[in-house]
Amino acid sequence: MPAVPAIEPVPATPAEGKKAEILAAAAELFSQNGFEGASMRELARSTGISLAGLYHYFPDKEALLYELEKHTFGVLLESARRAASMPATPRQRLRELIRGHVEYFLAQPDAALVLAHEDRSLAGERALQVARLKHAYYEQTRELAAAALPRRLDGARLRATVLSLFGMLNWIPTWHRPGRDLDAQSLSELVCEIFERGAAGATTAKAPASLSKAAAVTSPDRHESSQSTEENEPWQP
């Protein structure tokens, strides 16, 4: 089983090591206090780095959040693409994607909580870049789910099915307790079973006509209003 990446890869230089240290501390602070409730002064105290030192590496607090979210989505997307390229069945590929998501979220619960709850704290170009990574991850998951499920889903039902999967996955860091709850392997298998069985049952009922109409009139994402709603598909609950 491959190792789960940390907040940052093994630093190549002392400067990269210091940035990784700051990002790890920021993830913990943001997950505990929220982005708006955290301050650079608190981060300086927790890291032992001067306020001026923090600003040397990151120009503002939003830059910290941006780097955290960009990295975390990047790790998830890379893991999803590896799963999609496996010489395996569609079902096995989807299960590998789910396993990678669960493993990463359990290994990095602070970063996971920040990812799930603080994406709307970004603005401008930073928000657009994170939204593109988010959309790419959603699209990869949707593609694998469409190929793996026992009966083909499309349109509004496929969208709802994939977002329901993310609802299960992204809630895990809020309740999981190491030593008390299932380990990553067992938990990912359980999520797969729940998702596959539930999705199989859901395809037996006909979708109401109003559901398809609702999907067509969803309002655009506030960060990329000039693009289609499909290009801005949210993935977290």
Q: Cα dihedral sign for 203, 216, 139, 125? A: negative
Residue 32 lies in a domain: no
The kind and range of the H/E element at 190 are helix 184-202
Residue 63, classed as helix, strand or coil, is helix
Residue 118, classed as helix, strand or coil, is coil
Q: How many residues comprise the chain?
A: 237
The pLDDT assigned to 202 comes to 62
The pLDDT assigned to 30 comes to 95
CATH code for position 176: 1.10.357.10
**Shortest CA distance to 118 belongs to which of 227, 217, 3, 29?**
29
Half-sphere exposure of 60 (CA within 13 A, CB side): 6
Mutual orientation of helices 109-117 and 90-107 as an angle, nearest 10°? Answer: 100
**Shortest CA distance to 234 belongs to which of 171, 162, 169?**
162
Q: Chain centroid to CA 146: how far? A: 19
Residue 39 lies in a domain: no
The pLDDT assigned to 60 comes to 93
**Shortest CA distance to 131 belongs to which of 223, 36, 34?**
223
> Do 144 and 81 touch, CB atoms closer than 8 A?
no
Cβ-based neighbours of 235, under 8 Å, separated by 6 or more:
134, 135, 137, 138, 141, 162, 163, 166
Residue 226 lies in a domain: yes
Residue 195 lies in a domain: yes
What is the chain's alpha carbon radius of gyration, rounded to the nearest angstrom?
Answer: 19
| Structural domain span for residue 76 | 62-232
The pLDDT assigned to 14 comes to 78
Residue 186 lies in a domain: yes
Residue 29 lies in a domain: no
Cβ-based neighbours of 163, under 8 Å, separated by 6 or more:
234, 235, 237
Instruction: Give how many domains the chain has, as a whole number.
Output: 1
The pLDDT assigned to 203 comes to 55
Residue 141 lies in a domain: yes
The pLDDT assigned to 169 comes to 95
Alpha-carbon span 56 to 39, nearest angstrom: 16
Residue 44 lies in a domain: no
Q: Which two tokens stand for residue 141?
A: 């998951």
Q: What is the mean pLDDT of each run of 10 residues along the chain (237 residues)?
A: 44 78 93 93 92 92 94 94 95 96 95 89 93 95 90 82 93 93 95 87 54 37 40 43
Check: pTM over 0.85? Answer yes or no: no
